[in-house]
C-alpha cells in the first residue's frame, strides 16, 4: 500500500512514486486538517478552544531533547482534558541523534505515557526535515483516527472556537450588522 500526503490541489488519483508501486494509481482516502498547538503559555487558551473540534492528536516529541519537556506534558494534559482517544506520537528529528539515543528516548516516551490516554499510542520515529517515515504517519492517520460519522438528518450544531464583532462602538441597534464566527459544524 502506498500512503502519501499531498495538498488539496493535487488530483484525487495520482501515480504512486514509492518503489515497487510506480505503476499504481493512489486513491484519495481523506482530507486532513492540522491545528498546530505551540507550547507557549499565552496560547494555551487558543489550543484548548481548537482541541474542541479535533478527532485525534499527533503528539510531537523532539528526539534531540529529553522527554518530557514542559510543553509535552502540557499537551498530553490537554489531550486528556479533551478526552481525545485517537493519538499518534511522533518522535521527530531522529536524523540528528545516534540510534542508541533514539532508542533510549523511545523508552523514556513509553515511561512518560504509561497510565495516560496515550498509553496505547504508536510512537513513530520521523524526520520532518528529511521526510523520513511520513508515509508511516499517513498510514497511521488513516488506520488509527477514524472518520467521525456524519448525521445529515438532525439540525446542525456548531462549535464556535472564535468570534469577531464587526460593529464599531456606538452603533444604533438597527445598524448592527453581526459578526464573524469560526468553528466547526457537527452533531453531538
Say if residues 76 and 59 touch (Cβ distance below 8 Å): yes
The answer to the question of residue 130 being in a domain is: yes
Q: Are residues 174 and 105 in the same domain?
A: no
Identify which has the larger pLDDT, 170 or 107.
Answer: 107
Q: Are residues 178 and 128 in the same domain?
A: no
Whether pLDDT at 188 is above 60: no
The answer to the question of residue 103 being in a domain is: yes
Q: Are residues 123 and 171 in the same domain?
A: no
Q: Are residues 124 and 162 in the same domain?
A: no
Q: Are residues 135 and 107 in the same domain?
A: yes
Say if residues 175 and 163 touch (Cβ distance below 8 Å): no
**Separation between Cα atoms, residue 128 and residue 44, nearest integer Å:** 24
**Chain segment 50-102, per-residue pLDDT in tens:** 666 678 999 999 999 999 999 899 889 988 988 899 999 999 999 999 999 99
Tell me what percent of the residues of the chain surpass a pLDDT of 90.
Answer: 43
Contacts of 92 (CB under 8 A, 6+ apart): 60, 61, 62, 63, 126, 127, 128
Say if residues 112 and 87 touch (Cβ distance below 8 Å): no
Backbone dihedral region for residue 118 (phi beyond 0: left; psi -120 to 50: alpha; all else: beta): alpha
Residue ranges making up the domain that contains 163: 157-186
The answer to the question of residue 26 being in a domain is: no
Tell me what percent of the residues of the chain surpass a pLDDT of 70.
Answer: 79
Q: Are residues 127 and 178 in the same domain?
A: no
Chain Cα centroid distance, residue 37 = 9
Residue linked to cell 499531498: 6
Cis status, amide bond into 68, omega within 30 of 0 = yes
Residue 28: strand pairing partners: none
The answer to the question of residue 150 being in a domain is: no
Q: Are residues 178 and 91 in the same domain?
A: no
Cell of 72: 509535552
Amino acid at each position: 500500500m502506498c500512503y502519501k500526503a499531498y495538498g488539496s490541489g493535487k488530483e484525487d488519483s495520482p501515480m504512486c512514486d514509492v518503489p515497487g508501486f510506480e505503476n499504481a494509481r493512489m486513491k484519495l482516502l481523506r482530507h486532513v486538517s492540522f491545528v498546530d498547538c505551540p507550547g507557549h503559555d499565552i496560547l494555551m487558551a487558543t489550543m484548548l478552544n481548537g482541541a474542541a473540534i479535533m478527532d485525534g492528536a499527533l503528539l510531537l516529541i523532539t528526539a534531540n531533547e529529553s522527554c518530557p519537556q514542559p510543553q509535552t506534558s502540557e499537551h498530553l494534559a490537554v489531550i486528556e482534558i479533551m478526552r481525545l482517544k485517537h493519538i499518534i506520537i511522533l518522535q521527530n528529528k531522529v536524523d540528528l541523534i545516534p540510534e542508541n539515543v533514539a532508542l533510549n528516548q523511545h523508552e523514556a516516551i513509553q515511561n512518560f505515557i504509561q497510565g495516560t490516554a496515550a498509553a496505547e499510542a504508536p510512537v513513530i520515529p520521523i524526520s520532518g526535515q528529511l521526510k523520513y517515515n511520513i508515509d508511516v504517519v499517513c498510514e497511521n492517520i488513516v488506520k488509527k483516527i477514524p472518520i467521525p460519522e456524519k448525521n445529515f438528518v438532525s439540525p446542525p450544531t456548531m462549535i464556535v472556537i472564535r468570534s469577531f464583532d464587526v460593529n464599531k462602538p456606538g452603533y444604533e441597534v438597527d445598524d448592527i450588522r453581526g459578526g464573524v464566527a469560526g468553528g466547526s459544524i457537527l452533531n453531538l
